[in-house]
């Protein structure tokens, strides 16, 4: 009886190995440093620049799309394809999309390529700019938003933005949630020249407001 059970177990293991030996295998875990937790229900896409009949194609094609489990883990199994580059993308509605390109030389058919993601929650900073009376056309303000994580490619790019004259405006800024940004601005009027710098904490998934009245 034991020999039969061992034989059956061996068949199951060999069958499982055969199913994946010619497959592309990717796995990993999605973590939110700013919330200190693993993220469930995050979409992960596997894309590739496919090589067909010896021709290189610079466009990325979608191969697989999965979602992370309750521990933030994902597993992707795909038929082997010839590709120059693979790309893994992680995203969800309230998080800032993150992607990573992987040279195909680093991916071995039948062996799992492990790639973990850090994903950051979205937040917004609304900056209200208003120069109060007596304002005139020569008034000038220069504003910059300095991110604590400058590698965010989709965060707002407000750097040395200059406004002149009578201003009553609003700047909408996408930032990393649960982080502090610095609002740096210089006011130049006929009677004053002042430089200011304020740190503003932006809670995840919320809109924080900051007012500049000069």
Q: pLDDT tens digits, residue range 5-60?
A: 444 455 444 455 556 789 999 999 999 999 999 999 999 999 999 998 877 778 99
pLDDT of residue 77: 98
Count H helices, E strands: the chain?
1, 17
Same domain, 102 and 161: no
Boundary of a domain, candidates 118, 136, 170: 118
Same domain, 128 and 65: no
pTM over 0.85? The answer is no
Boundary of a domain, candidates 67, 100, 118: 118
Q: Flag whether 57 is in a domain.
A: yes
- Domain harbouring 150, CATH code: 2.60.40
Q: Flag whether 205 is in a domain.
A: yes
Same domain, 195 and 155: yes
Same domain, 52 and 128: no
Q: Based on the structure, what is the number of domains in the chain?
A: 2
Q: pLDDT tens digits, residue range 73-89?
A: 999 999 999 999 999 99
DSSP 35: T
Residue range of the domain that includes 197: 121-213
**Rounded to whole angstroms, how far apart are CA atoms 142 and 212?**
11
């Amino acid at each position: 009886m034991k020999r039969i059970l061992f034989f059956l177990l061996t068949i199951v293991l060999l069958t499982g190995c055969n199913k994946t030996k010619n497959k592309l295998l990717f796995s990993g875990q999605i973590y939110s440093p700013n919330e200190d937790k693993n993220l469930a229900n995050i979409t992960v896409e596997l894309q590739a620049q496919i090589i067909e009949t010896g021709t290189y194609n610079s466009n990325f094609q979608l191969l697989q799309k999965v979602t992370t489990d309750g521990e933030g883990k994902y597993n992707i199994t795909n038929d082997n394809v010839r590709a120059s580059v693979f790309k893994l993308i992680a995203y969800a509605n309230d998080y800032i999309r993150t992607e990573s390109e992987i040279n195909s030389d680093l991916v071995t058919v039948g062996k799992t390529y492990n790639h973990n993601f850090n994903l950051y929650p979205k937040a917004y900073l609304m900056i209200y700019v208003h120069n109060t009376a007596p304002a005139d056309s020569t008034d000038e303000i220069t504003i910059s938003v300095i991110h604590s994580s400058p590698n965010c490619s989709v965060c707002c790019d407000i750097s040395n933005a200059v406004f002149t004259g009578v201003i009553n405006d609003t700047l909408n800024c996408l930032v990393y949630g649960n982080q502090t940004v610095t609002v740096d601005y210089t006011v130049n009027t006929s009677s004053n020249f002042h430089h200011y710098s304020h740190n503003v904490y932006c809670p995840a998934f919320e809109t924080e407001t900051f007012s500049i009245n000069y």
